[in-house]
Amino acid sequence: MQNKVLSLRSRLLFVIIIPLLIIVSIGTVALYFDSQKKSQEIYDNLLHTISQVIMRDAVLRDGDLLTEQLLETLTDSLNDQIFYQVKDETNTLFVGYSNPPLLPKESEIKPYQPIFYDSIYRDQDVRVIFSREFISSKEIPGWVNIYVWQTRLGQRQLLLELASDAFVTMMIMLLSTGLCVWFGVQFGLKPLLELQAAIRKRSADDIREIKRTVPREVSSLLSSMNNLFSQLRKAFTEKDDFIANAAHQLRNPIAGIQSQAEAAERSKDLKSMRSRVKDVAEAAKKTSRLTQQLLSMEHVSQRSIKSEFKKIDLVKLTQEVLTKFALRADKQSVSLSLDSKKEQLFVQGSETFLSEAIDNIIDNALLYGSTNGGSIIVSLKEKNDVAELIISDDGKGIKPELIPKVFDRFFHDSELNSYGSGLGLPIAKTVIELHDGNLILTSNEKGTSLNIQIPIFKSGS
Ligand SMILES: Nc1ncnc2c1ncn2[C@@H]1O[C@H](COP(=O)(O)OP(=O)(O)OP(=O)(O)O)[C@@H](O)[C@H]1O
Ligand SMILES: [Mg+2]
């Protein structure tokens, strides 16, 4: 399943709106219960006052003239019917309705302490107040029990109105906050969208720096991008230079081949023709070497060689390369030997490219170092978890002013007549560095020495 990534805008909206929605919902519910509690208190107080009025009215007027009008007014304004019952101490009905809602069983009757409870009267929910008070009047001095109960329709309606008002207010708040967030996010993301448009306008051959003022949070992204652009520009320039240089290097030997071949065609005798053909062969050899080196250089600079890394024995690999050069060394009367106390020395790397690097260095030693006679010593040892392969010749060495240049691509000492393309050492250096190693060159008039250092293979690395 594809991993779907939410857009920045949706993320921002989600992290703001969802918590807000939760807060608003909790707030509405809390407000509802709070209103319920408060309205209950108000209604209970009212009921208490009504009970007091009724009691005094009933007792003082001897149960006859109750302020019916007052009750009617209250009923109208509260939207709830009010019922009452007043009984004297002998439990004879003094005034009001019979069968008031029964007191809950567990209620403890104490004088002057009204008891409020919920009940059902004539199939309707009612709120009841019961109280017991002492009345001193001429007619009935003594203790009086009074029940007053009230339907709850008006109260519920009021509560519903309050709650729906609160809900509507909350919803309006939520909506307006949502709109503010939406526009805020649009506004906040504008610089990013503009940056995106600016990048979209670019093409592969337009990787100039993007110059625009962006908010602080985006500026590091932009500077990383510009940094990448500048690295790309550098890499492209290097590639262009490399191609131009390669074409230039190839042009001369190919032109040579052409002219020698034409001359060979024109030669009058077999001897001069042979000599021209020999020149053609030499130039072809040089071209072939150059193309081979160009291919290798291209390969190693792509860094993909790391994918073919495996555990390899450097002793065996060096021996194989030396065997390849044995005949040539013999022809030049150069002694070429491997000095290694270790029988095996493992490193993590590419067999092909490490061989090529060593090959290039020994080729140089035979070509420019120990040219005729002399010796090339190849020593291999392990030092502090690093394999050290030193290739030393006893030639004339490299001119001190040229030493800093020998690792440059296409650098070749023009005074030395050879097939050199100037890529041997740069290839070797890149290969060794891809193996997390170092290639160190030391050279003086007594000879040149190249020191290859590669970390030893460790299981699990
Ligand atoms: N052992 C050495 N002794 C003296 N000079 C050396 C030695 N190794 C390298 N050089 C100098 O360094 C230059 C660069 O060497 P490099 O191997 O990179 O290129 P090249 O040999 O000219 O060409 P290529 O190896 O690509 O065919 C050589 O032209 C040579 O002048
Ligand atoms: Mg070389």
Report which protein residue has its CA nearest ligand 1's atom 27.
420
The residue-averaged pLDDT of 323-328 equals 95
> Quick one: 437 exposed, middle or buried, by C-beta within 10 A (0-12, 13-18, 19+)?
buried
Alpha helices in 109-215 (DSSP H): 153-201
Confirm if 212 and 195 have CB atoms less than 8 A apart: yes
Q: Which of 44, 45, 67, 58 is CA-nearest to residue 145?
A: 58
Which element (helix H / strand E) includes 68?
helix 68-78
pLDDT category at 214 given cuts 50, 70, 90 is confident
Residue 251 C-alpha to ligand 2 middle, in angstroms?
20
The proportion of the chain whose per-residue pLDDT surpasses 70, expressed as a percent, equals: 94
DSSP 89: T
Report which protein residue has its CA nearest ligand 1's atom 29.
412
How much of the chain is in helix, strand and coil states, percent to nearest 5?
Answer: 55, 20, 25
Helix, strand, or coil here: 219? helix
Report which protein residue has its CA nearest ligand 1's atom 19.
422
Q: Which residues of 263-296 are buried (b: 16+ CB within 10 A; e: fewer)?
A: bbeeeeeeeeeeebeebbeebbebbebbeebbeb
Residue 416 C-alpha to ligand 1 middle, in angstroms?
9
The response to whether residue 293 sits with its C-beta less than 6 Å from ligand 1 reads yes
Residue-by-residue DSSP string for 27-57: HHHHHHHHHHHHHHHHHHHHHHHHHHHHHHH
Q: Which of 156, 101, 118, 111 is CA-nearest to residue 132?
A: 111
The residue-averaged pLDDT of 303-328 equals 92
For residue range 341-371, list pLDDT tens digits in order: 999 999 999 999 999 999 999 999 999 998 8
Question: pTM above the 0.85 mark?
Answer: no
Report which protein residue has its CA nearest ligand 1's atom 21.
420
Residue 149 has pLDDT above 90, yes or no: yes
Residue 1 has pLDDT above 50, yes or no: no
Work out the mean pLDDT of the chain and round it to a whole number. Answer: 87
Tokens (6 digits) for 298 = 């291209």
DSSP 372: S
The residue-averaged pLDDT of 455-461 equals 80
Mutate to test the pocket of ligand 1, among 296, 334, 364, 375 (most ligand atoms within 8 A of CB): 364
Domains and CATH numbers, the chain: 8-160 (3.30.450), 216-300 (1.10.287.130), 307-455 (3.30.565.10)
Residue 93 has pLDDT above 80, yes or no: no
* pLDDT given for residue 163 in this prediction: 82
The residue-averaged pLDDT of 243-270 equals 87
The response to whether residue 448 sits with its C-beta less than 6 Å from ligand 1 reads yes
The response to whether residue 393 sits with its C-beta less than 6 Å from ligand 1 reads yes
Greater confidence (94 vs 295) lies with 295
Report d(CA 375, CA 396) in Å as an integer: 12
Residue 425 C-alpha to ligand 2 middle, in angstroms?
6
Tokens (6 digits) for 351 = 């067999």
Residue 210 has pLDDT above 80, yes or no: yes
* pLDDT given for residue 2 in this prediction: 46
For residue range 371-392, list pLDDT tens digits in order: 889 999 999 999 999 999 999 9
| Cα dist from 421 to 236, 247, 304, 407, whole Å | 22, 12, 23, 12
Residue 98 C-alpha to ligand 2 middle, in angstroms?
123
Mutate to test the pocket of ligand 1, among 250, 298, 362, 412 (most ligand atoms within 8 A of CB): 412
Residue 310 has pLDDT above 90, yes or no: yes
